[in-house]
Amino acid sequence: MKRVREDSLDQKAPPEEAANSKVPQHIAIIMDGNGRWAQARGKKRVFGHKAGMERAREMAEVCGELGVKYLTLFAFSSENWNRPKDEVSFLMELFATSLKNESKKLHKNNVKLMVIGDKDGFDRRLRKAIEKAEALTQDNDGLYLQIAANYGGRWDIVQAAQALAEQGAEITEESLQSKLVTADGVDPDLLIRTGGEQRISNFLMWQAAYAELYFSDALWPDFDGKALKAAIEDFNRRQRRFGKTGEQVATASD
Stretch that binds ligand IPE, among 6-14, 68-76, 92-100, 105-113 (CB under 6 A): 68-76
How far is Cα 4 from Cα 9, in angstroms, rounded to an integer? 9
Q: Is 200 annotated as a binding residue?
A: yes
Q: Is 150 tagged catalytic?
A: no
Q: Decide: 96 and 129 in contact? Cβ < 8 Å.
A: yes
Query: What single-letter amino acid sits at 39?
Result: Q
Output the residue with the shortest Cβ distance to ligand IPE: 35
Q: Is 220 annotated as a binding residue?
A: no
- Any contact of residue 199 with ligand IPE (CB under 6 A)? yes
SS (H, E, C) 216-247: CCCCHHHCCHHHHHHHHHHHHCCCCCCCCCHH
Query: What single-letter amino acid sits at 62?
Result: V
Q: Is 3 annotated as a binding residue?
A: no
- Any contact of residue 54 with ligand IPE (CB under 6 A)? no
| Shortest CB 139 distance to ligand IPE, Å | 28
Query: What single-letter amino acid sits at 236?
Result: N
Q: Is 217 tagged catalytic?
A: no
User: Pattern of binders to ligand IPE over 153-192, x per CB under 6 A?
Assistant: ----------------------------------------
Number of H helices, E strands in the chain: 10, 6
Phi, psi of 180 (to 5 degrees): -70, 160
Residues of this chain, 13-32, that bind Mg ion according to CB under 5 A:
32
Identified catalytic residue from 10, 80, 109, 140? 80
How far is Cα 125 from Cα 115, in angstroms, rounded to an integer? 15
Which residues are part of a known binding site for Mg(2+)?
32, 212
Which residues are part of a known binding site for substrate?
33-37, 45, 49, 77-79, 81, 83, 193, 199-201
